[in-house]
Structure formats: C-alpha cells, structure tokens
Structure 1
Amino acid sequence: MQDNARQRFAGLLERHRGIVLKVAHSYCRHPDDRADLAQDIAAQLWRAFPGYDAARASFSTWMYRIALNVAISHVRSSSLRGRHSVPLDDEALLAGDGDDHEGDEHLRLLHDFIARQDPLHRALLLLYLDERSHREIADVLGISEANVATKISRLKQRLRNEFA
C-alpha cells in the first residue's frame, strides 16, 4: 500500500509541479533559495499527503494551500527575511523574443508591484493571475470569498493608480 501511495503522490506531484515552481519563483529570487523552497514544499506535501481528501478539494487547490503556507513561513523565517524575497528575476520574467518592449516594461512593473506586497497579498495575486476562482482562492488562503473579492478589487485599484 505504501508503494501505491508513493506512486500516486509522485504522479500527482509531477502533473502539478508547475504550482511548486511558480510559488518558489514568486517568493525567492536566487536559484538556490528557489530550489530549497521547492524541496521544502515537496517534503511538506508528502508529509501531508496521507490527509489529502479528494472529496474536499482538488489536488491543485490542496497543493496551492500547502505550497503557499510553506512559502510564507519560509519568507517569514529569519534566515530569509530581508534576503531575496521577491518574485522571479528579470531574466526569467522577461524571457522572450524581445520585440515587445512596452509589454516587457508593463510586465516588469507588474512584478515589481507584486514583489512589494506582503506574503498574503502576493499569494492572492499569484492565484488570481493563475485564473483561480474566488472560491478556490478563498479555500487556499482560508478567507471568505467576499474578502477575496474585496482584496482583489483593492489590489486592482492600487495597480490602476500605480500604472496611471
């Protein structure tokens, strides 16, 4: 049975590994820190996997919840406080053909805005930009849907003011 659970977990982790990478990239700038965070997330996912209940949440929602909690704890830890806790580095963010300089600038400004947010708002923006529903965001972050809607609205207004 243990081997079956390990294989099931490995398959699910591989299928949804983009979530782990996205969260790690959103909370750490340096590759070593990203790799450490991704490994911490995977380890915590494995520890929590026996308690995963597919009837209560999709695997990706459950995974986001754990990944973001680990990332937020990681950022708050004294070892990373003040170091490298910003979103993707500019090279990864602006990868492409380089023809859309205005788009690159808007993307850089968006990521600068996200980097300045506290961990909860950063998580909220990450989920929103990943096109998660208000219900899913609420489930992942443990807040009400109304609170999600309010926070997103306020963040959009702050973005509009900043880009104006």
Structure 2
Amino acid sequence: MEKEFVSLIKKNESIILKICNIYCKEIEDRQDLHQDILVQLWKSFPNFDKRSKITTWMYRIALNTAVSRYRKEKKVPIKEAISERLVSDSSNDDENVRLLYLAIEGLNKIEKAITMLYLDGIKYKEIGEIMGLSESNVGFKINQIKSKLREKLKIDML
C-alpha cells in the first residue's frame, strides 16, 4: 500500500503544488500546507473506493485541506497575491497571462479553486465531484467567474 501511495503522489504531485501556490503566499506556508495535504491523503488512502478518478479524489482532499487551513488562519486576507507567485513560476512574459492572474487574485477562495480546475481542463462533472457541487451549478459558477474576470480585465485595460 505504501509503494502504491508514493507512486500515486509522485505521478500527481502537480495537483498538490498548484493548490499550495494558490492558497499560500509564503514558501514556508506552502511547505506546511503540502505536508498537511500529504498527511490527509495518506489517512484517506485506505478508504479510497476507486469509484471516482484518483485525480478527483486528490483534488477533493487537497482543496478541503487547504480551505480548512485557510479558515483556521483568519490572518490570511481573502485577496491573496497569487499573481506574482504564478507568473514568477512560469517563464511566460505574456501580458495577457499576467493580467489574467491579476484578475484571478480578486476572486474568493472557492472561485480560485474552480478557476484552477477549469484552467486545468477538468470537466464540469469532475469539478462538481471535487467541489461538492452539481454539474449545472459548476457551469453557473464558471459563467459568473468569467463575467467577473471580464469586468475586471475591462477595468484594468482602461
């Protein structure tokens, strides 16, 4: 079981890293959250029933851990400066990408999670499974998020 778990983590660690980058500003906090997520995944692994995809299960555990930690640490502001971390983590200097990340910065924690999943190409049904929402609710929320981002980008570009 341990070898299977380690293999699973190595194969899908980018999921954990993305979530840590979205929810934590400081590197020490990202490392702590990474550890917390690994612990929760390990504790939950024996109960994984394989009815959903492994990535869906990982996203759900990781996001729940991040959101729970976020709620406990009331010192973290709602608007995190994720744009600098995400843009600095990529070599893409495209101004449109930078503006998009700046707009994403203004979203709340749930909207950020949905946006991350959507940008990762996850289907609405799977986003719903991860976030505990219906597929139609996911579609509705994504449309709301797109509207917010369009409005924010329109304002920023003036």
Gaps of 5+ in 2: none
Which of 116, 119, 129 is residue 109 of structure 2 equivalent to?
119
The TM-score normalised by the length of structure 2 is 0.88
Q: d(CA) in 2 for partners of 1:152 and 1:142?
A: 15
Q: Please state how far the C-alpha of 1:134 moved relative to its aligned partner.
A: 0.3
For the Cα contact (< 8 Å) 2:124–2:138, is it kept in 1?
yes
Q: d(CA) in 2 for partners of 1:45 and 1:32?
A: 20
Q: Please state how far the C-alpha of 1:158 moved relative to its aligned partner.
A: 1.6
Q: Please state how far the C-alpha of 1:80 moved relative to its aligned partner.
A: 4.5
User: How has the CA–CA distance of structure 1 residues 37 and 157 changed in structure 2, closer, same or farther, with 3 Å as cutoff?
Assistant: same
CA displacement, residues 48-107 of structure 1 (integer Å, 9 cap, x when unaligned): 1011011x11111100001001111111113652399442534x5144275xxxx2x322
Q: d(CA) in 1 for partners of 2:137 and 2:63?
A: 18
CA displacement, residues 34-58 of structure 1 (integer Å, 9 cap, x when unaligned): 111111101100011011011x111
Which of 45, 62, 73 is residue 68 of structure 2 equivalent to?
73
User: How has the CA–CA distance of structure 1 residues 123 and 21 changed in structure 2, closer, same or farther, with 3 Å as cutoff?
Assistant: same
Q: Please state how far the C-alpha of 1:113 moved relative to its aligned partner.
A: 2.1
The aligned residue for residue 145 of structure 1 is: 135
Between Structure 1 and Structure 2, which shows a larger proportion of helix residues? 2
The aligned residue for residue 99 of structure 2 is: 109
SS at match of 2:25: coil
Q: Please state how far the C-alpha of 1:140 moved relative to its aligned partner.
A: 0.1
The aligned residue for residue 56 of structure 2 is: 61
For the Cα contact (< 8 Å) 1:134–1:149, is it kept in 2?
yes
The TM-score normalised by the length of structure 1 is 0.85
For the Cα contact (< 8 Å) 2:78–2:109, is it kept in 1?
no
The aligned residue for residue 11 of structure 1 is: 7
The aligned residue for residue 93 of structure 1 is: 87
The aligned residue for residue 37 of structure 1 is: 33
Q: Please state how far the C-alpha of 1:109 moved relative to its aligned partner.
A: 2.2
How many residues matched?
Answer: 153
Task: Provide the identity percentage.
Answer: 36
Aligned CA RMSD, in angstroms, stands at 1.9
CA displacement, residues 97-125 of structure 1 (integer Å, 9 cap, x when unaligned): 75xxxx2x322222222222221111100
The aligned residue for residue 119 of structure 2 is: 129
Amino acid paired to 2:77: G
Gaps of 5+ in 1: none
Q: d(CA) in 1 for partners of 2:48 and 2:11?
A: 16
